[in-house]
Amino acid sequence: MSYELILSSKFQAPENRKREAVRAAHDHDEATLLELLNHYLTLKSSRKSQTSNETRLLYSAAVKRFLEYCAKNSNRLEITRLESDDLEMWLVYLQAEGLKPLSITAYLNGVRCLYRALIWAKAATINPAAEVKAPRDPTPAHLKKSALSPALYRELVSAPLEKYAPDDPRRTRDGLLIALGGSGGLRAKEIISLDVTDVEIALKRLTVQSGKGGKKRIVPLSNELLSLLKSWLEVRRSLELMGEISPTETALIVSISRNASHGRRLTTHGARFIAKGYYVAAGLPSEMWGLHTLRRTAGTHLYRATKDLHVVADLLGHASVNTSAIYAKMDMETRRDALEKMEKMRDELE
Supply the pLDDT for residue 132: 95
> Rounded CA gap, 58 and 40, in Å?
15
- CA distances (Å), origin 276, targets 26, 37, 272: 43, 34, 6
Supply the pLDDT for residue 295: 92
Q: What angle do CA 278, 282, 283 make, to 5 degrees?
A: 120
Average pLDDT over residues 6-16: 76
Q: Is the pLDDT of residue 163 over 90?
A: yes
pLDDT, tens digit (0-9, with 9 covering 90-100), for 247-303: 999 999 999 987 778 999 999 889 999 999 999 999 988 777 788 899 999 988 888
Residue 69: name the closest of 47, 49, 95 by CA.
95
Helix and strand numbers (H, E) in the chain are 16, 3
pLDDT, tens digit (0-9, with 9 covering 90-100), for 311-321: 888 888 887 77
**Beta strands across the sheet bearing 199-200:** 199-200, 205-209, 216-220
> Rounded CA gap, 58 and 9, in Å?
22
pLDDT, tens digit (0-9, with 9 covering 90-100), for 105-119: 999 999 999 999 999
> Rounded CA gap, 111 and 67, in Å?
10
The residue extents of the domains of the chain are 3-120, 143-337
The highest-confidence range among 70-74, 133-137, 210-214, 235-239, by mean pLDDT, is 235-239
Supply the pLDDT for residue 5: 59
pLDDT, tens digit (0-9, with 9 covering 90-100), for 292-328: 899 999 988 888 888 888 888 888 888 777 766 766 6
3-state secondary structure string across 81-126: HCCHHHHHHHHHHHHHCCCCHHHHHHHHHHHHHHHHHHHHCCCCCC
> Rounded CA gap, 255 and 333, in Å?
37
**Selected residue with higher pLDDT from 314 and 90:** 90
Does the global pTM surpass 0.85? no
Write down the CATH number for the domain with range 143-337.
1.10.443.10
